[in-house]
Amino acid sequence: MAKMKTVDAAVLILEKEGVNCAFGVPGAAINPFYAAMRARGSIRHILARHVEGASHMAEGYTRAAHGNIGLCIGTSGPGGTDMITGLYSASADSIPILCITGQAPRAKLDKEDFQAVDIASIAKPVTKMAVTVLEPDQLPSIFRSAFHIMRSGRPGPVLIDLPIDVQMAEIDFNADAYTSMTPCRPTASRAEAEQAIDMLNDAERPLIVAGGGIINADASELLVEFAELTGVPVIPTLMGWGTIPDDHPLMAGMVGLQTSHRYGNATFLKSDFVLGIGNRWANRHTGSVDKYREGRKFIHVDIESTQIGRIFAPDLGIVSDAKAALEMFLEVARERKASKKLSDWSDWVAECEYRKHHMLRKTAFDHVPLKPQRVYQAMNEAMERDTCYVTTIGLSQIAGAQFLKVFKPRNWINAAQAGPLGWTLPAALGVRAALPDKKIVALSGDYDFQFLVEELAVGAQHKLPYLHIVVNNSYLGLIRQAQRGFEMDFQVSLAFENINTTGEGDAEPGYGVDHVALAESLGCKAIRVRTPKEFDAAFAKAEALLEEHQVPVVMEFILERVTNIAMGTEIDGVNEFEDILCLDPNLTLESGWVSMGEGDEADAVTAPEMEPA
């Protein structure tokens, strides 16, 4: 045992638990903790410009690699409340991050002291644990429990609030005797696996829905092995995108109302059996539950027991870690395969693959101003296979999911459930901090980019280079499109005549904010792209700037003001606003479907399924 300050013990515990990077903003009430961190020198600290930004950096850091725990630090009062959005986003997507906040002295907690707020109570609904440490001797056990809780079951965030007098107190602590607690994760039984494979075997057109729980469990290779062994096509969810490569013959496309592929929805509607692993049946994936369930049997595998039956009752529910379940499924499936008691779904696979290659949306537009589809086509052509994309909500994200290609787990890092604007930029910095050698490409609309744009200075100061694609239509595009249902276009335009953008090479007239000048004022580099002819040279220049300056590089693409991106209210009623690309002359669109025009002049139409003529 050694006598030490509680904050010294806290830093030693963080080291033992594998934390080596923190994101935060110091302040008076958390300065003792910062002093302990500085004295040890074992944890890299990246100074954010906003504490919400720090929380999203921590999210990006965790999401980037299996086993990471992102740490964000803030002072009392607004230092903690600014983190709530990050805690909510992490909780919604099952991401473990640790938030540490300073607090007023214990004796002042109920006396309206300066910046004293009950942050633990505020944070409880969006964390797995939120606690104010009131007894110094409890700090080691609370920190130990925090890491155990974050990693056990469905992962998620924790907040630990440290009154300043608790930070300054001395305790007895033996760092050498400290051990991390083994996370608790339920495991599928042999009997459950046998029942699941029996049900799978009885299906004629089965699918696997692969959720983010597979990525959290680091089980993507097992998922691909199971799919290949059984010959069952895979539908990844938005959080599970990358569990199977996009060009794998068994990758059957994504399903949903917005972030979906035409071929994915069409294949799902023809299926009769769904094995969901590590997924939540999120409403943007399912649409109405009645339509989603119609004519299908379901198995649901999830690490959290309360998820089974939460949206609808499956025919079989299995509470299990995704990795443990897949290992057991593989064991049973191998035995069935060896004894020739596993069904052959090769005709179904061929049918799914046929749709995948022919039910495509058009991207080859040469319009000026640019159509967003053309930008994503250019990104697919310019980016290497191992590129990691980071994005949040908006038409930029929805179109990105419809048109980009992802080939590996954790190469699509997305705030999928909460979708806070501004998330992309700080999250990309967190990803970069975790993966110094990875190709990182962030994707934002202009509004998402502006929300926490000050964090670009963090990338410049701390040399965190990544490429940030900004598709600029000077609109809150997704809200504008949603407002069509109310026959309005109200308070969603970001356009204005910027008095500072006059002259050749300046921002697009009428588009408002000069994102190039903004990025450069924050110590970064930026390029503006207006036509498809500029794409190749612009991407090459961006790569050169990243290499030379080691700071974030912004590529702003000037889009047409209005482009409606395909979406709908049911998975069988997604509205297509642009021409559909058909690569096979033997395929025709069913009679009655007409190709609509562009922009606001286009009314929504439902594109029926494409079939052989």
Residues designated as active site: 25, 51, 421, 476, 479
Q: Give dist(CA 607, CA 509) in Å, integer.
A: 36
What is the three-class DSSP state of 333? helix
Instruction: Pick the closest to residue 24 from 59, 60, 67, 58 (CA basis).
Output: 58
- Residue given tokens 């290659």 in the structure block: 357
Residue 107 is classified by DSSP as G
Q: What is the rounded distance in angstroms from the CA atom of residue 242 to the CA atom of residue 28?
A: 43
Which class for 442: exposed (0-12), middle (13-18), buried (19 or more C-beta within 10 A)?
buried
Residue where the block lists tokens 């039956």: 309
- Please enumerate in sequence order all residues whose Cβ is within 8 A of that of 287, keeping only pairs 6 or more positions apart, or say none: 256, 257, 568, 569, 570, 571
Q: Give the separation between CA 271 and CA 280, rounded to whole angstroms.
A: 19
How far apart, in whole angstroms, are the C-alpha atoms of residue 439 and residue 414? 16
> Are the C-beta atoms of 388 and 435 separated by less than 8 Å?
yes
* Cα-to-chain-centroid distance, residue 252: 20
Dihedral sign from CA coordinates of 469, 474, 479, 483: negative
> For 404, phi and psi rounded to 5 degrees?
-75, 170
What pairs with residue 22 in β-bridges? 45, 71
CA distances from 455 to 59, 291, 536 (A): 15, 43, 28
User: 228 exposed, middle or buried (CB, 10 Å; 0-12, 13-18, 19+)?
Assistant: middle
Tell me how far apart the alpha carbons of residues 406 and 242 are, in angstroms, rounded to a whole number. Answer: 6
Please tell me whether residue 468 adopts helix, strand or coil conformation.
strand
